[in-house]
Each structure stands twice: as C-alpha cells, then as structure tokens.
Structure 1
Amino acid sequence: MSGFLTLDGKRALITAGTKGAGAATLALFRALGATVLTTARSRPDDLPEELFIAANLTTEEGCASVAEAAHRRLGGLDIVVHMLGGSSAPGGGFAALTDADWQQELALNLLPAVRLDRRIVPGMVGRGSGVVIHVSSIQRLLPLPQSTTAYAAAKAALSTYSKALSKEVSPKGVRVVRVAPGWIETEAAVRYAQRLAEQAGTDYEGGRKIIMDGLGGIPLGRPAKPDEVASLIAFLASDRAAAITGTEYVIDGGTVPTA
C-alpha cells in the first residue's frame, strides 16, 4: 500500500468549491491528482473555467444541470462532496421563522444533496464503487436557538438522510460518510469576528472569543482552518478510508462535549 494519500485518477464533484473550506477542498483534491469540478452561482475570476459549472443548486433544475454537465465532461463521478450550506434566516428564535425561512434553509442545506445524489449515486452503484461525503454541522447537535434553529434542523435532516443512504448503498460498493465541522475560520468568519470586535470595542482576538463563548467554548482554543477540514475530507474520499462508511467525523476543536 502506498505510504501517502492520493486521489490520482479519481473524478470528483465538490459543490460550493469557490470559497472557504470548499475552495480548500477543491485545491487539495487537485493537488492529490483528482479531476475536479465545482459549482456555484457565479465563477470567481481566479477559478479556471474548465473546473466550473454555473448553477443554482437550490432548484431542481440547477441540480439536474450540474449532474448532466459532470457526466458529460467526466463520463461519471467517483466522488461527490456536498459542501453547500449556510443560513440567512433571521435571529429571534423559533417564532421569528416564517414558512419561507424554513423552506429556504431546507432548499440550501438538505435538498441539493438529495437531488444530486438521486442523479449521481445510481451510476456509482452500477459500477460498484464510489464515495459520497455529506458536510453537515455540529449545529445539528448544538443548535443556537436564537439564530440557527432552521439551519440546525436542516443539517440534522441531512445527517439522517446520509445515514439511510449509507445503509442502502454501502452493500453495493458505495461509501457514504458525514463530516461535521464546528466553527471554521473562513474569510466570512473573519469578517464576522471583526464586526463583533468593533461592536464590542475590542480587537480581532476578542471577536473570536465572543464567537467561541457563544458556542460554549472550543477546548482547542481556536476554530478549525479550511485546510484542516479539506484534509479530513480528502482522507475520507481516498482509498485509505476504504473501510469507512455510514459514520460521521466531527472536526470542531472539541466543541461538542459528547459524541
């Protein structure tokens, strides 16, 4: 067995691979030898056009176009990594959430994975091999009731769906794994910490502490970095993890007190 990690010869789709942990995962997959496509609504200037599929994955039509483009360009997929997620729901607790807010959170955090898998996984099953990685969140275990109720519920649904899919397709050669990050220090997270710092009259480290305290503390003392999340995903997608399926890997610096 090779002593190093490789994705040489693998064909992969990474959703939301233009920013943050998604961009770090895209870069690492390419460095490890994979042929990679990613998708978002618009392509950043620094991303080569041949790596990109423009689509709105919150719609059924957008998911269909991505699956068709991936098959057309690569002839099939060996790995799909569902990085897409986020929340724009208002704060204020459960009573502040409208039906439209709930629908939006489900449309972003659950349904893209369901719709893409429905179109991609049968090809993996037909070949008897493939890897599906669903990126969930520790929020499914530790929701923040004032701000992330709908997001956390959508990620919990994604996790349950992922487990069910793994039980169905693992006997047919397709591995399904979940990755649950905590707070990741992405560009957006840095800007958020800076805003909190300005509001509190403190520095960036003070802003980071406000976020960490809001999560109940991070024993490691810092958030995860995008490259660290990417490294975990790359390992799980590789043949080095060939006996791993149906489970979840938390990368949160110890935020979740129990597993």
Structure 2
Amino acid sequence: MNAPRKKASTDEAAPAAADHDDAAPGSLTDADIYDDIVRAIQDHRLLPGTKLVEAKLGEVFGVSRTRIRQVLVRLAHVQLVTLSHNRGATVAQPSAEEAREVFEVRRLLEPTLLQRFIARAKPADIKRLADCIDAEEAARMRGDRHQAVRLSGEFHQLIAAGAAHATLDRVFNELVSRTSLILMTYGAVEPTLLRPQGGSQARWLDGCSCRDHRGLLAAIRQRDAQLAEQRMDDHLRHLESSLCFNQSAPASTDLGAVLRPTGTTG
C-alpha cells in the first residue's frame, strides 16, 4: 500500500548489542540493512533456505562482514534467519508445526488488534486501509507480484499500527515476516497469473485475498467488531488450509539480484 510505511524491523526485540550502528555519515546503517532483508522476505524476493553469505552481503551493501554478522544475529533472534556452525546463515525454513503455531497465534492476536483499531480508527485510518486494497489490486493487474504480496501483508500491519499497542504491534510484525516464509515454503505451486508472459510455475502468491480484505473493511466501517473478528478468523483459517506440507522447498535466491546494490542509500 502506498500509505506511510512503518519500519519493518523489530529493533526493540533484538539484543541490546545490535543497537550500536558504526556507519559513517551518509552510508547504510545496520537498521537499513536489517530492514532491507526483512522487506525482501516479506515481498517473497528472498526465499527460505537461501544462504546468507557474509562476504556476499558485505559486497551488496558495501559494509564489513562484522556489521553483516551483527545484522544476521538480530534476524536470527526473530526467527527469520537460522545460524548454523557448519552452514553459516540461511533464511529460515519454518517447519509444518511452526507454520501451524504462527497461524494459531495470529488467530489469537488479530481479534484484539481489530477491537482496538475499530475503537480508535478515524476516517483517515479507514481510508488508508481502502487505499491499500486498491493499490494491491492495481499491483496484481499490472503483474507486480512483489508489490502485491507486500501490500497484502501491509493491510494487516496497518490495522496493528492503528490499534496503538506497541508491544502487540512489535510481536505482530514479526509474525507477518514469518508468515511470508511459511507461504513461500508451503504455498501451493500453481501457474502464475500475475506475470504478463505467463507459462511459468510459481509459489502460490495470492496470500491474503483482496476480497477477504474488502469484507473486513466493510465490517470495520460499520464498527462491527464481532463481524470483523469472524471475518478475520475465516480469512486466516482459509490461508492456513491452503498450505501444502508435502511439497519440495522453493529454490534459493541470488542475493545480489534481490537486495540493495553497493552504494545505494535510498
């Protein structure tokens, strides 16, 4: 959605040592690098199992391996990266059990966020949700699948932000990133309808349905918390039921192709 974006990072949940940014003025900070990697995961550009080679990431971002290592530790802290003595760092591949747990927690958490959002939402907040859905549909129409996926998750993040509960918001944003990993790992493989050239196979990219989101938005506009909660629960259960736990993992990704090139600061 083209609404003002919140930071993708969950800095408050990271180890205190990660808060020290020694970047030179005008260069990328550790927070910039962290947020870029999180966004690449949320956009389905950085796939589960991808090796995060410190030297390669250092080249991509134009920083030292020491700083990359600090960022990877922070990502591991929120379960987006797996650190192994033998394999180094890889993008996390959630197990089927972890996938079910994430959806269970979301079903517990999002009704509370909805209640708080509906109680506090101003017309501008509701308009941001509507604009988000419109932007997602436009992205799907033009074949911009990464933008569509990002906006799909951001709809939920706008509700969490508008609920004005800092602790739940921080936890929820971690769940959104982990949901992206789950959809990339277990989403059904279908011919994509989003690429104009067609014919290729891709992971199930719909994620959240625009139709489901419009139904939620209608309940929010009516200030009907009970109806909104039921529609959110149905929506999350539909997402979970669409997962396929008996298929091969997606192919890994070239880091340089999906992350910020060296020297880019904006």
Structure having greater relative contact order (Cα 8 Å, sep ≥ 6)? 2
TM-score in terms of structure 1 length: 0.26
Richer in strand (by share) = 1
What TM-score, normalized by structure 2, do the two folds share?
0.25
Q: Which has the higher helix share?
A: 2
